Structure 1
Amino acid sequence: MTHMPARYALVDTELGGQRIIRGEPLNLGLAAANTDPRIHTNDPEREIGNRSHLGFSAGPHQCPARTPARLIARFAVEQALHGLPRITLGVPADAVTSSPSSWMRHLESLPVTFAPASNTAPDSSVR
Protein backbone atom coordinates (compact mmCIF):
# COMPACT_ATOMS: atom_id res chain seq x y z
CA MET A 1 0.00 0.00 0.00
CA THR A 2 1.40 3.38 -0.92
CA HIS A 3 -0.98 5.32 1.35
CA MET A 4 -2.56 4.40 4.63
CA PRO A 5 -6.20 5.30 5.33
CA ALA A 6 -6.66 8.78 6.75
CA ARG A 7 -6.29 9.63 10.40
CA TYR A 8 -7.57 12.94 11.72
CA ALA A 9 -5.66 15.51 13.75
CA LEU A 10 -6.93 15.55 17.33
CA VAL A 11 -5.48 18.99 18.12
CA ASP A 12 -4.06 21.95 16.21
CA THR A 13 -0.36 21.33 15.68
CA GLU A 14 2.58 21.92 13.41
CA LEU A 15 4.46 19.16 11.60
CA GLY A 16 7.47 19.74 9.37
CA GLY A 17 6.72 23.46 9.27
CA GLN A 18 3.12 22.85 8.14
CA ARG A 19 0.19 23.96 10.26
CA ILE A 20 -2.36 21.18 10.82
CA ILE A 21 -5.82 22.12 12.09
CA ARG A 22 -7.80 19.86 14.44
CA GLY A 23 -10.03 17.57 12.36
CA GLU A 24 -7.97 17.74 9.15
CA PRO A 25 -7.34 14.36 7.49
CA LEU A 26 -3.78 13.09 7.42
CA ASN A 27 -2.63 10.38 5.03
CA LEU A 28 0.62 8.54 5.56
CA GLY A 29 2.25 8.16 2.13
CA LEU A 30 4.84 5.39 1.87
CA ALA A 31 5.64 5.66 -1.85
CA ALA A 32 9.05 7.19 -1.19
CA ALA A 33 9.93 4.79 1.60
CA ASN A 34 13.08 2.76 1.17
CA THR A 35 14.61 5.13 -1.39
CA ASP A 36 17.17 7.02 0.71
CA PRO A 37 20.51 6.74 -1.13
CA ARG A 38 22.36 7.25 2.18
CA ILE A 39 20.98 3.90 3.35
CA HIS A 40 20.95 1.84 0.17
CA THR A 41 24.08 0.64 -1.53
CA ASN A 42 22.67 -1.05 -4.67
CA ASP A 43 24.58 -4.09 -3.43
CA PRO A 44 21.99 -6.86 -3.01
CA GLU A 45 24.29 -8.86 -0.75
CA ARG A 46 24.53 -5.98 1.74
CA GLU A 47 20.82 -5.14 1.49
CA ILE A 48 19.56 -8.51 2.80
CA GLY A 49 19.31 -7.41 6.44
CA ASN A 50 18.50 -3.75 5.82
CA ARG A 51 15.59 -2.89 8.11
CA SER A 52 14.90 0.56 6.66
CA HIS A 53 11.98 -0.85 4.67
CA LEU A 54 9.07 -1.77 6.94
CA GLY A 55 7.15 -3.87 4.40
CA PHE A 56 7.88 -6.84 6.66
CA SER A 57 7.27 -4.74 9.80
CA ALA A 58 9.72 -4.45 12.67
CA GLY A 59 10.05 -5.09 16.37
CA PRO A 60 7.93 -7.76 18.05
CA HIS A 61 5.57 -7.93 15.06
CA GLN A 62 8.23 -8.40 12.39
CA CYS A 63 7.83 -11.14 9.84
CA PRO A 64 9.97 -14.11 10.90
CA ALA A 65 10.53 -15.09 7.26
CA ARG A 66 11.47 -11.74 5.72
CA THR A 67 15.03 -12.75 4.81
CA PRO A 68 14.01 -16.07 3.20
CA ALA A 69 11.13 -14.27 1.41
CA ARG A 70 13.52 -11.72 -0.10
CA LEU A 71 15.94 -14.46 -1.16
CA ILE A 72 13.14 -16.53 -2.70
CA ALA A 73 11.78 -13.51 -4.59
CA ARG A 74 15.24 -12.53 -5.85
CA PHE A 75 15.99 -16.11 -6.95
CA ALA A 76 12.59 -16.47 -8.65
CA VAL A 77 13.05 -13.28 -10.68
CA GLU A 78 16.61 -14.22 -11.62
CA GLN A 79 15.47 -17.67 -12.76
CA ALA A 80 12.56 -16.24 -14.76
CA LEU A 81 14.88 -13.80 -16.53
CA HIS A 82 17.44 -16.55 -17.10
CA GLY A 83 14.75 -18.83 -18.58
CA LEU A 84 13.46 -16.02 -20.81
CA PRO A 85 16.67 -14.33 -21.96
CA ARG A 86 15.01 -12.42 -24.80
CA ILE A 87 12.12 -10.99 -22.81
CA THR A 88 11.12 -7.48 -23.89
CA LEU A 89 8.34 -5.08 -23.06
CA GLY A 90 5.49 -5.71 -25.49
CA VAL A 91 4.31 -2.08 -25.61
CA PRO A 92 6.06 1.29 -25.42
CA ALA A 93 7.13 2.01 -21.82
CA ASP A 94 4.83 5.02 -21.58
CA ALA A 95 1.86 2.77 -22.42
CA VAL A 96 2.31 0.79 -19.19
CA THR A 97 -0.16 2.24 -16.72
CA SER A 98 -0.70 1.95 -13.00
CA SER A 99 -3.98 1.32 -11.28
CA PRO A 100 -5.70 4.62 -10.41
CA SER A 101 -5.89 4.12 -6.65
CA SER A 102 -4.90 6.13 -3.61
CA TRP A 103 -4.24 2.96 -1.63
CA MET A 104 -2.31 0.57 -3.87
CA ARG A 105 0.32 1.11 -6.55
CA HIS A 106 0.47 -1.68 -9.09
CA LEU A 107 0.52 -2.10 -12.83
CA GLU A 108 -2.76 -2.78 -14.58
CA SER A 109 -0.89 -5.11 -16.92
CA LEU A 110 2.66 -5.79 -18.05
CA PRO A 111 2.60 -7.12 -21.61
CA VAL A 112 5.84 -8.79 -22.65
CA THR A 113 7.10 -10.83 -25.56
CA PHE A 114 9.67 -13.55 -25.27
CA ALA A 115 11.12 -16.61 -26.89
CA PRO A 116 11.83 -19.63 -24.70
CA ALA A 117 15.42 -20.33 -23.85
CA SER A 118 17.12 -22.51 -26.43
CA ASN A 119 17.85 -25.27 -23.92
CA THR A 120 14.51 -26.18 -22.36
CA ALA A 121 15.53 -29.68 -21.23
CA PRO A 122 15.73 -30.04 -17.46
CA ASP A 123 19.19 -30.05 -15.96
CA SER A 124 19.86 -33.67 -14.98
CA SER A 125 22.30 -32.56 -12.27
CA VAL A 126 19.52 -30.89 -10.25
CA ARG A 127 17.50 -33.25 -8.07
Structure 2
Amino acid sequence: MAATWVVIVLLVAGLAFGLAGLGGALSAGPQQAATPAAATADASVRADPVSGLAWVELAALPPEASDTVDIIAAGPPYPYRADGETFSNREGLLPAQPEGYYREFTVETPGADDRGARRIVVGAGGEYYWTADHYDSFERIRR
Protein backbone atom coordinates (compact mmCIF):
# COMPACT_ATOMS: atom_id res chain seq x y z
CA MET A 1 0.00 0.00 0.00
CA ALA A 2 2.84 2.41 0.86
CA ALA A 3 4.45 1.68 -2.48
CA THR A 4 1.20 2.63 -4.22
CA TRP A 5 1.16 5.99 -2.44
CA VAL A 6 4.77 6.64 -3.41
CA VAL A 7 3.95 5.94 -7.04
CA ILE A 8 0.88 8.22 -6.86
CA VAL A 9 2.89 11.04 -5.26
CA LEU A 10 5.61 10.70 -7.89
CA LEU A 11 3.04 10.72 -10.70
CA VAL A 12 1.26 13.78 -9.30
CA ALA A 13 4.58 15.59 -8.79
CA GLY A 14 5.69 14.73 -12.31
CA LEU A 15 2.35 15.80 -13.75
CA ALA A 16 2.45 19.09 -11.82
CA PHE A 17 6.00 19.77 -12.96
CA GLY A 18 5.11 18.97 -16.57
CA LEU A 19 1.99 21.13 -16.54
CA ALA A 20 3.88 24.02 -14.96
CA GLY A 21 6.39 23.91 -17.80
CA LEU A 22 3.64 23.56 -20.36
CA GLY A 23 1.63 26.38 -18.77
CA GLY A 24 4.65 28.65 -18.99
CA ALA A 25 4.98 27.88 -22.66
CA LEU A 26 1.28 28.43 -23.24
CA SER A 27 1.14 31.74 -21.41
CA ALA A 28 4.29 33.17 -22.97
CA GLY A 29 3.56 35.76 -25.62
CA PRO A 30 5.14 35.48 -29.04
CA GLN A 31 7.95 37.82 -28.06
CA GLN A 32 8.87 35.45 -25.23
CA ALA A 33 8.80 32.29 -27.29
CA ALA A 34 12.09 30.60 -28.08
CA THR A 35 13.36 31.51 -31.54
CA PRO A 36 16.25 30.23 -33.62
CA ALA A 37 19.42 32.30 -33.38
CA ALA A 38 19.09 33.45 -36.99
CA ALA A 39 15.59 34.80 -36.37
CA THR A 40 16.73 36.56 -33.21
CA ALA A 41 19.64 38.20 -35.05
CA ASP A 42 17.30 39.20 -37.87
CA ALA A 43 14.84 40.75 -35.40
CA SER A 44 17.60 42.84 -33.82
CA VAL A 45 18.46 44.25 -37.25
CA ARG A 46 14.81 45.22 -37.78
CA ALA A 47 14.56 47.08 -34.45
CA ASP A 48 15.98 50.50 -33.68
CA PRO A 49 18.40 49.92 -30.77
CA VAL A 50 17.51 53.25 -29.13
CA SER A 51 13.71 53.10 -29.22
CA GLY A 52 13.23 49.34 -29.60
CA LEU A 53 10.74 50.10 -32.38
CA ALA A 54 10.72 48.30 -35.69
CA TRP A 55 12.41 50.07 -38.58
CA VAL A 56 10.36 50.91 -41.64
CA GLU A 57 11.79 52.18 -44.90
CA LEU A 58 10.38 55.53 -46.00
CA ALA A 59 9.86 54.01 -49.46
CA ALA A 60 7.64 51.31 -47.90
CA LEU A 61 5.25 53.89 -46.44
CA PRO A 62 2.37 55.47 -48.36
CA PRO A 63 3.60 58.11 -50.86
CA GLU A 64 2.05 60.86 -48.73
CA ALA A 65 4.64 60.11 -46.03
CA SER A 66 7.44 61.05 -48.44
CA ASP A 67 5.51 64.21 -49.30
CA THR A 68 5.36 65.08 -45.60
CA VAL A 69 9.11 64.47 -45.18
CA ASP A 70 9.69 66.91 -48.05
CA ILE A 71 7.36 69.46 -46.40
CA ILE A 72 9.24 69.09 -43.09
CA ALA A 73 12.57 69.64 -44.87
CA ALA A 74 11.24 72.76 -46.60
CA GLY A 75 10.15 74.27 -43.28
CA PRO A 76 7.19 76.45 -42.40
CA PRO A 77 4.61 77.42 -43.27
CA TYR A 78 3.07 73.96 -43.03
CA PRO A 79 -0.23 72.92 -44.60
CA TYR A 80 -1.95 72.17 -41.27
CA ARG A 81 -2.10 74.52 -38.30
CA ALA A 82 -1.08 71.72 -35.88
CA ASP A 83 1.97 70.72 -37.94
CA GLY A 84 5.24 71.48 -36.22
CA GLU A 85 3.55 71.60 -32.81
CA THR A 86 4.98 69.78 -29.81
CA PHE A 87 4.19 66.08 -29.57
CA SER A 88 4.11 65.31 -25.85
CA ASN A 89 4.61 61.52 -26.06
CA ARG A 90 1.89 60.96 -23.43
CA GLU A 91 1.59 57.38 -24.64
CA GLY A 92 5.23 56.80 -23.71
CA LEU A 93 5.91 54.79 -26.86
CA LEU A 94 8.85 56.91 -28.00
CA PRO A 95 12.07 57.25 -26.01
CA ALA A 96 11.63 59.56 -23.02
CA GLN A 97 12.78 63.08 -23.81
CA PRO A 98 12.12 66.55 -22.36
CA GLU A 99 8.91 68.34 -23.35
CA GLY A 100 9.32 70.02 -26.72
CA TYR A 101 11.79 67.44 -28.07
CA TYR A 102 9.25 65.90 -30.47
CA ARG A 103 7.22 67.68 -33.20
CA GLU A 104 4.29 66.18 -35.09
CA PHE A 105 3.30 66.50 -38.73
CA THR A 106 0.21 65.38 -40.62
CA VAL A 107 0.47 62.74 -43.33
CA GLU A 108 -2.51 63.25 -45.59
CA THR A 109 -4.97 60.40 -45.95
CA PRO A 110 -6.61 60.34 -49.39
CA GLY A 111 -10.38 60.56 -49.10
CA ALA A 112 -10.35 61.73 -45.46
CA ASP A 113 -12.34 64.85 -44.68
CA ASP A 114 -10.06 65.71 -41.74
CA ARG A 115 -6.37 65.31 -40.87
CA GLY A 116 -6.78 61.55 -40.55
CA ALA A 117 -4.76 59.37 -38.18
CA ARG A 118 -1.40 59.26 -39.96
CA ARG A 119 1.48 61.30 -38.56
CA ILE A 120 5.22 61.64 -38.67
CA VAL A 121 6.82 62.63 -35.39
CA VAL A 122 10.30 64.14 -35.58
CA GLY A 123 12.77 64.26 -32.71
CA ALA A 124 15.15 67.17 -32.15
CA GLY A 125 17.99 64.71 -32.81
CA GLY A 126 16.72 64.16 -36.38
CA GLU A 127 14.94 60.85 -35.84
CA TYR A 128 11.64 60.29 -37.65
CA TYR A 129 8.77 58.08 -36.43
CA TRP A 130 5.66 56.90 -38.30
CA THR A 131 2.22 56.21 -36.88
CA ALA A 132 -0.74 55.18 -39.01
CA ASP A 133 -3.11 54.88 -36.04
CA HIS A 134 -2.92 58.24 -34.27
CA TYR A 135 -0.17 57.36 -31.77
CA ASP A 136 -1.35 53.85 -30.82
CA SER A 137 1.83 52.44 -32.37
CA PHE A 138 5.03 53.71 -33.94
CA GLU A 139 7.81 52.58 -36.23
CA ARG A 140 11.17 54.28 -36.69
CA ILE A 141 11.57 55.60 -40.24
CA ARG A 142 14.79 54.76 -42.04
CA ARG A 143 15.36 57.46 -44.68
TM-score, structure 1 normalization: 0.22
**Between structures 1 and 2, the one with greater strand share:** 2
By relative contact order (CA 8 Å, sep 6+), the higher-ranking structure is 1
TM-score, structure 2 normalization: 0.21
